[in-house]
Each structure stands twice: as structure tokens, then as C-alpha cells.
Amino acid sequence: MRRFLRPGHDPVRERLKRDLFQFNKTVEHGFPHQPSALGYSPFLRLMAIGTRSGAIKLYGAPGVEFMGLHEENNTVMQIHFIPDQCQLVTLLDDNSLHLWSLKQHSGASELREEHRFTLKGPPGSPPSATQITAVLPHSSRDVLYLGTESGNIFVVELPSFRVLEDRTITSEAVLQRVPEDYCNRRSCELVEALREHPKNPDQILIGYSRGLIVLWDLQNNKATHHFLGSQQLENLYWQRDGSKFISCHYDGSYTQWPVSSDNRQPEPLENLVPYGPFPCKAISKIYWHTTKNGLPYIIFQGGMPRASYGDRHSISVVHGSQQTAFDFTSRVIDFFIIFSSEPTAEFDDPSAMVVLAEEELVVIDLKTAGWPAVHPPYLASLHCSAITCSHHVSNIPLKLWERIISAGSKQNIHYSNMPWPIDGGTNIAPDPPQRDLLLTGHEDGTVRFWDASGVCLHLLYKLSTVRVFLTDADPNDNMNTLGEDEWPPLRKVGTFDPYSDDPRLGIQKIYLCKYSGYLAVAGTAGQVLVMELNDEDAEHVVDHAEADLLQDQEGYRWKGHEKLKTRDGPVRFEAGFQPFVLVQCQPPAVVTSLALHSEWKLVAFGTSHGFGLFDHQQKRLVFVKCTLHPSDQLALEGPLSRVKSLKKSLRQSFRRIRRSRVSSRKRRGGSGNASEVQEANAKFDQDTLQEMELAPVQRKIEARSAEDSFTGFVRTLYFADTFLRDSSRHCPSLWAGTNGGTVYAFCLRVPPAERRMDEPVRAEQAKEIQLMHRAPVVGILVLDGRSTPLPEPLEVAHDLSKSPDMQGSHQLLVVSEEQFKVFTLPKVSSKLKLKLTALEGCRVRKVTVANFGSCKTDDYSENDLAVLTNLGDIQIISLPFLKLQIRYPCIRKEDVSGIASCVFTKYGQGFYLISPSEFERFSLSTKWLVEPRCVVDMPEVTSNNHVHKSGMENAARKS
């Protein structure tokens, strides 16, 4: 009966498990999905980004990061830091205000929501009466001015959010002294902008959307100046000394206004349409910064000629005769200027412009001639071309690390040398224990190398495989070089480029050997490239071979894409990884598995038709094996299944539309009728539920059969030096697992090093195992005599691993989507198994061996399997006994792309995509945690420094 006992009753083991495993989602890398608002505090030198899903993220010096989430998951419309405080206010699209603060807690700062508030009008008033359009946190730090759609400005006390009714600035009061004819034309209008006077905190500038601008005296509660603008107003900005301000307008013009005590109703100083005379788009935001040399910087968003350039997302910087219109790759959400905030300084002297576009963050150095971009240390746009695969390599040797950085620095010469200007807070996290690389493959045929050691995912080096091939697009013509007198002076900035010239270039599999610097990448059109790291530019011919994976099959027709055309003759490659071998699979189906053995100098690759082994030392194809079932027409013909998937994706998108309809209803609902909306939603849900019951989803129950489609699809390839034929001699071997539950083992004969070039590598099939449950084989692993997984190639040679035990008997672990099975070697007999799917109804999506160290004792660590299932759960399964240790819910099971994108590290961490542009990092280990830990201290506050203000504090309403 002992076998019936449930596992996990051993108290010693239970205690050990607590010391080994722990699940945390630690940090989000990359660029926030759908950003909607930007804020900056020159006082804290922190930047805040809000998103459409209600997240708010703060960034300072590299490593200083905070994240908060609004409960409502509503779009963040505006973010305003409270002057000289560790506090900020967010405005959501449900018209609610939220006060967040950074508080220190056990040594590190934390971002917490303190209060929330929704402005309520008198009973019976329309919702627009209290719809907030502009927010001004006053430099006195204890009140917020809230401009509304009705034109009234409400005053609320901080931090209590108590409305000070007697201080409300009504539009009636403002309009009292406005000339009759002007007043008649434009009655109640919404408040477009609120700006505090830079020198006199008792005066605020109020801009109404129809063009009227009023300087309001808070002490006397009356308007002192009226500026009668004739154009619809977009935004306002004060000059530093408060003697002038600038307004920008819907017709693409901006206007300077003087402020003096003698003229209460001044005329504009200057009115300019910078990209006229033809109709222009609105200038939605403008900055005016003074410099020592007298020439101001005027920086504005938009204003492009409507007809020819109306689709550009531009920000123009004008400084004397210099003018550049930075042309962004996606919509500009908001931007701010970093300038000298010393209260004693006479001039602004702007140093950098920070632009949040929808898909990337761009920082422009305004100090350096030519205004180059600054390379951001975080917020990298992972999705500048869609991510198609990822590969993680732990513990990179210093030598390789430096060579990659040096190759990358040669690519980054066009970036500014300016130190990162947003540098608030202090990173107090311990230095990362090792150097880790995350490699992402992209749709455009590039591989990006990211420093994944710490909290900041930083781009080190970008590799492009495009040069090897002949494609329609010339890789050199993407930079648009403009002539001297080109107008408008557009300049493209940013790296986001989601449009792939040729989808066949997409990278599907990556394998990097960190000891030898060999890199293998494989792509969508059956291309396999083997590369070597070279510190110099070089021009050479790439050896080219073809692997016909369908040798015996006749009379088929491949209906998929053609193979890529290669360039003849030598190709020039920049320093970094340079390809020297190209193998093209025939038919050119997508490469589904890849393995590289840097010691034996062999690369193995598989597609839906079969697999092959290539000797990249002798540049010779060793063998190919067709795994295709002859009747498998679908796999034969290639991605014809697209028809099917198109249907599926259409269906999915309809579902998505329906779902988004529900959520948009939720969003639109104002504060007053929230319960009503909820009710409506509930009813809607119920309706859809009933609808579902009418046409139920059915699932077919059928055993897998050898005749199923895509059984020959090669899912995994694995090199091992093990006992394949007899227990006295071990030999190199190649293992392959297919979708149909077949495992092939080939015995390899690799000539010794001194004769490596003279004798051919030989391979002979030694075993073929058919799992009778026929589920796809997703992992193959050999355990040595001590039940330890075999080390990676060259790991032992570099003294980084104990040499494997070649005395005891080896074991083979085959992981299918449904089961884990251990077999003995060389005579294959089944030893152990874990039927995961039969027990739990989940299937294995990703599996890897991870080393877990104990947080209590330094000298204990063990190898386990980290498994991600199709339900998004992560399970840890012990080796070699296949006992389930622990299970954590990690990814929503509906998040198919998140599950598909997951990569585990060798030390119990992992990454998965939470959006096309963001990786969530998680940790299963108690010992290896990479998470932000930082402190934001309040800088010393001098009594009179409320005078200096940032441009962002009263930022635009628009997002």
C-alpha cells in the first residue's frame, strides 16, 4: 500500500522545498503596452508613464523602477507630480483622481495609492460640469486646480481631496470684464490649460478652448489680464521670467503674448504659422526655453502641413536658424524637456527632450550639435520588429560578454554620449550575480542581444541575417537622407519598424554556445546559419549547402513559400557574429528545432518534413532523415494550413471585438451610473452565455493515430555523449523527437581532433522509440550515472561543470506533451513515468532543467524540471524521480502568446511576453531573484524653491 501514499508527506523534504522554491513575478522589461500619459518631476528626476490598462510606472536612474496599478484598469489620462513632494496625482478616463506616494518601507521605497477622488457637481448638473480637462498642482503643494469642460475651475485641498467651494473660479466671474462682442461669440468653453506664473504663485494663467486666455489673481479672486485669442487654443507655456507666454493653436500657429502691468488687454507680440502658408495641423503642445546665448528653444508638437505631411507624428525643435522636425514612428503621446531647474539659474538651458511615442521612448540630446538621440538604458522597444522567438543563456563568460558589447558599441556610434538624463532615485539592489543574455529573434531577420542580468533589459548588440540573402528591399535605403533645403526639415527618429520586408527572413530558433562563441540561427524559410564572433569587419563568402529532407518522397508539390535567394560572391559583414555556413532545407519549411554542438562542430535542424545533421567544420551534410508520414498531405504541401488558421484567427478577432465591446462599455460609464453599467454588463454576459448554450462548443475525443497530420514535425533535437549501443562504450549521439511521439537516436562517429578535417563524420540510426500515446515529444534529456543531466558541450572543458559520470548507467528522459518517461540506456526499458495529462488535464508547453540553490545553505543545490503547461501553470518536477514538487499559476491560460513566448533560465527564472513589447520576468527560486529595489529620497527643500517649476507639472490635457 506504500505506493498509494500521496507524495509530499516527508517533513524534511517539505522544509527543503520551502528553502528552494518560491514564485515571484519580479519585474516587467521592455516598453509599456499602450502608453497613454507621461509625467516628469524635475525635483525627483523621475519620469512616470501611465497606460491604457491603468498601470503607472515610474523610472529614474537605471534600476530605479516602480509600478502601480489602478484598481479600475481604466486609461490613465494625465499624470502630475506634486511640486517638491514624493507624490503624484493621476487622472483616469472615468474622471477619478488618484493620489500616489513613494514611501520608504524597510529600506526601500514603494509606490502606493493613498487616496482617490471623483469631483461631484451640484445635483442635477450635467456630467460635463465636472469632467476634468486640466489639472494644476499648485506650488504651495496643498491645492489642486481642476479645470473642467464647463469652464469652471474647482479647487481641492491635498491630500484630503476636500473641495474648497468658496475658491471655485467660475466662467461667469472670468467673463465679467471681457468685451461684450468677444464674450458673445464665445460663451462657456472648456478649460484647455492651467499654468502657474513662474515667479508669482498667486497668479495663474487660464486658457479656454475657444481662444480666450486669462491671468487670474488668486489673492483678489479676479482676472487681471485678458488675452483675446482668435484661434482655438491648444496649450500655453510661460517664459521663464514670467514676462511673456506662448500659446499654440488648432490651426497650426503659435502666438507670443506680453504680460505687463500697464496693459490689461494686450495684443499678441508675434503670431506665426511655422509650416504655413497652406493649412496646417494643430500644434498641440509647445515649450519655450531660454538659453544663455539669447536664442530660445521653441519646441512644439504637430503643426505639419495638413495635405502633405498630415500623417506624420512630429515634434519640431527651433533654435535660432536651426530647425528640425523629428519624425516619430508612432503617435506621440506626450513629451517633456529637461532643463536647469535651479531656482537661481537665469536661463532654462534645456539639455534633453524626452518623447513618449506610442511604441517607443525617444530621448534627444539638445546640448550636442546635430541633436543626436540618447540610447535609453531601459524601456527598450522589444517589438520594434515582432518577436518570433527567444533564447536565454545564463552566466556568460566575461570574455564573450566584452566582445559582444564591443561589437554592439560599434553599432551605436550615432547615439549621443550624454549620460542618461533621468537619474532620480538610488538603486540599492545587489549587483546581479552573473551575466545573462536574452536573445530575441525577430520577424525582420534580426537577433537582438539583451543584457538580462539585472532589472534593466538593455540592448547590447543587434545582429541582422538579411545580408546573406537577396531581398527586394535594399538594406541601405531605409534612412531617408534629406537635402539641405528640404522643407519641412523632417528627421526620422526611433527604431520601431513593424513592417517586415520579407516574412521568410523571420528567426525561429536560436542557439548560442557561450564558450565557443558559435551561434546558430534558423528561420522561416528553412534557412540555418552558423556564425562565429569576429571582432573586425570582414568580407567573405558564406558556404552554402542544401538539405533535401524529402529524399524518398516523390510526387509531392510544396505549396508554401520559396526558399530565400542567396547572394553570390563575398559579402561584407560588420564586426560581431558573422555567418560562415548557410544550410537551406528543402522544402523550405519553417525550422522547428535546432541544436548545436560546438565541440563536435555539428549543427542539427528539423522541420515538419524531417531533420538533418551538418558538419560545420568540414562544411558537409552528414545525413538527413525524413520523418514525414507519406500520407501527410498537409505537412507535405506546406503552410496551406494557413487557410485553417485564417479562419481561426477571424473567429478569434470576432470574439475579441465582442469582448472589447464589453470592456468599452465599462470604460465609458461615468461615475454616477457605474452600478447601472455593471448591471448592463452582467446582462450582456448572461446573454452571451445563453447564446453559447444554444451552440455549444464541442470537443472531439479521439486517440492520436499514426495517420494524424504533422506527426513528422520535428519538435526537439538533442546531442548527448552516452551509451547508445552497449554499456561499455559511450559515443556521441543525436536524438530527435517528433510531433507523433517518435524518438530517433543516431549514433555518431566524430573523428578525433587531429583527423577532424580528414575523416567524415558518420551517423547511423541506432534506436527508434515510438511512444504509444503518440503525444508530441517536447524534450529529450540524458541523465548520467549520478542522475545529473549531461553538461553542455565545452562546459566541462571550461571547468564549469563536473565531468559527467560515465561509469554508472545512463538514463533517458523523454518529455512528451502528456507524459514524462525515464528509460534505461543502452538497453531501453521503461523505468519511471509521470502521466501529467491523465492526472491533471494539462499539457506540457515548455520544459527545461533548472538548478535550484537553497537560500539557507550555500552548498546545497539540485536539478529539477521547470515545466510550463498549456494552462499557464508552472510546475517543478524532481529529477530523477519525477515527483511533482510544487505548482504555481503564472500565465492566464487564454494568453496563448504569453505561454508560447515563455523561456526559462538555467537557474529557475523565466520570461514571457505580457504584450508584444513587454517581458514579464519571474523567479521560481529563492536564491536567484532579479527585482527592483531602490530608494527615492526627498531632496532638501529650500523655502523659496517653489518658484522653479517644470513644464510637465501642468501638462497638457491631451494624451
Partner 1 sequence: MNRPHRGAAGSRGLGTMEVKSKFGAEFRRFSLERSKPGKFEEFYGLLQHVHKIPNVDVLVGYTDIHGDLLPINNDDNYHKAVSTANPLLRIFIQRKEDADYSAFGTDTMTRKKNVLSNVLRPDNHKKKPHIVISMPQDFRPVSSIIDVDILPETHRRVRLYKYGTDKPLGFYIRDGSSVRVTPHGLEKVPGIFISRLVPGGLAQSTGLLAVNDEVLEVNGIEVSGKSLDQVTDMMIANSRNLIITVRPANQRNNVVRNSRTSGSSGQSTESSLPSSTPNILANFLQGEEESDEEDIIIEDSGEPQQIPKAEPTSESLESLTQIELLHESTQNGFLPSSEMNHSAGSISMEYEVQDPNHKSLEEDGTIITL
Residues near partner 1, by CB under 8 A: 1, 3-4, 692-693, 696-704, 706, 725, 765-773, 775, 818-819, 821, 823-824, 828-831, 835, 837-843, 870-871, 893
Strands 322-328, 490-492: pairing is parallel
Please say which residue, 696 or 752, places its beta carbon nearer to partner 1: 696
Beta carbon of residue 766, minimum distance to partner 1 (angstroms, whole number): 6
With respect to partner 1, which residue has the nearer C-beta, 505 or 868? 868
End-to-end alpha carbon distance in the chain: 67
Closer residue to partner 1 (CB): 137 or 741: 741
292 contact partners, CB below 8 Å, separation of at least 6 = 346, 347, 349
| Residue closer to partner 1 (CB basis): 498 or 785 | 785
CB of 830 to partner 1, least distance (A): 5
Shortest distance (Å) from residue 820 CB to partner 1: 12
Residue 620 or 683 having the CB closest to partner 1 = 683
Residue 542 beta carbon to partner 1: minimum distance, rounded to whole angstroms? 36
CB contact at 8 A, 698 and 576 = no
Of 71 and 693, which has the nearer Cβ to partner 1? Answer: 693
Closest CA to 628 of 608, 604, 648: 608
**CB 625 to partner 1: min, Å:** 12
Instruction: Give me the amino acid identity at 786.
Output: R
- Residues 422 and 47: beta-carbon distance below 8 Å: yes
- DSSP codes, 470-486: E-SS-TTTTS-PPPTT-
Shortest spacing between CB 689 and partner 1, in angstroms: 10
Integer Cα distance of 66 and 87 in angstroms: 13
367 or 729: whose CB is closer to partner 1?
729
Pairwise CA distance, residues 155 & 165, whole Å: 7
* 306 vs 843 by CB, closer to partner 1: 843
Nearer to partner 1, 412 or 770 (CB): 770
To the nearest whole angstrom, how small is the minimum distance from the Cβ of residue 2 to partner 1? 12
The CB-of-834 to partner 1 minimum distance in angstroms stands at 12
> CB 360 → partner 1: shortest distance, Å?
37
Beta-ladder partners of 718: 735
Yes or no: say if 709 and 683 are a contact pair by the CB < 8 Å rule: no
For partner 1, which is the closer residue by CB, 165 or 702?
702
Query: Rounded to a whole number, what is the largest CA-CA distance in the chain?
Result: 105
The least distance separating partner 1 from the CB of residue 5, rounded to whole angstroms, comes to 11
Q: State how far Cα 6 lies from the chain centre.
A: 42
Of 632 and 873, CB closest to partner 1: 873
What does the chain come to in residues? 959
Q: Which is nearer to partner 1, 75 or 733 (by Cβ)? A: 733
Question: What is residue 398's three-state secondary structure?
Answer: helix
Tell me the closest approach of the beta carbon of residue 579 to partner 1, in angstroms: 36
Collapsing DSSP to helix, strand or coil, 248 comes out as: strand
| Nine cell digits for residue 219 | 489673492
* 492: nearest Cα among 302, 352, 324: 324
Query: 471 or 837: whose CB is closer to partner 1?
Result: 837
CB of 652 to partner 1, least distance (A): 15
In terms of C-beta density within 10 A (0-12 exposed, 13-18 middle, 19 or more buried), how is residue 121 classed? Answer: middle
Q: Pick the closest to residue 739 from 759, 704, 763, 712 (CA basis).
A: 712
Looking at the Cβ atoms of 640 and 871, the one nearer to partner 1 is 871
Q: How far is the CB of 122 from partner 1 (least distance, A)?
A: 46
Euclidean distance between CA atoms 408 and 430, whole angstroms? 26
Q: Nearer Cβ to partner 1, position 140 or 770?
A: 770
Contacts of 533 (CB under 8 A, 6+ apart): 400, 403, 404, 407, 517, 519, 576, 577, 578
Residue 612 beta carbon to partner 1: minimum distance, rounded to whole angstroms: 19
Assign residue 109 a region (left: φ > 0; alpha: ψ between -120 and 50; beta: otherwise): beta
CB of 809 to partner 1, least distance (A): 10
What is the Cα–Cα distance from 239 to 270, expressed in whole angstroms? 14
Among residues 663 and 765, whose Cβ is nearest to partner 1? Answer: 765
Q: Which is nearer to partner 1, 698 or 944 (CB)?
A: 698
385 in Cβ contact with 498 (< 8 Å): yes
Specify burial of residue 586 (Cβ count, 10 A radius: 0-12, 13-18, 19+).
Answer: middle
Q: For residues 331 and 357, is the Cβ–Cβ distance under 8 A?
A: yes
Are 248 and 275 in contact, with CB atoms under 8 Å apart?
no
Output the CA torsion sign for 148, 153, 157, 163: negative
| Cβ-contact 234, 192 below 8 angstroms | yes
Cα 602 → chain centroid: 34
CA distance 171 to 168: 10
Q: How far is the CB of 699 from partner 1 (least distance, A)?
A: 4
DSSP code string of 267-331 = PPSEEE-TT-SS-B--EEEEEEE--TTSPPEEEEEE--BHHHHTT-EEEEEEETTEEEEEEESS-
Dist CA 148 CA 172 (whole Å) = 14
Nearest distance, CB of residue 3 and partner 1, angstroms: 8
Residue number with CB closer to partner 1 (703 or 757) = 703
Task: Give strand ranges (E) for 514-635.
Answer: 519-523, 527-534, 538-540, 543-548, 565-566, 571-573, 576-586, 593-597, 602-606, 610-615, 620-626
CB of 700 to partner 1, least distance (A): 5
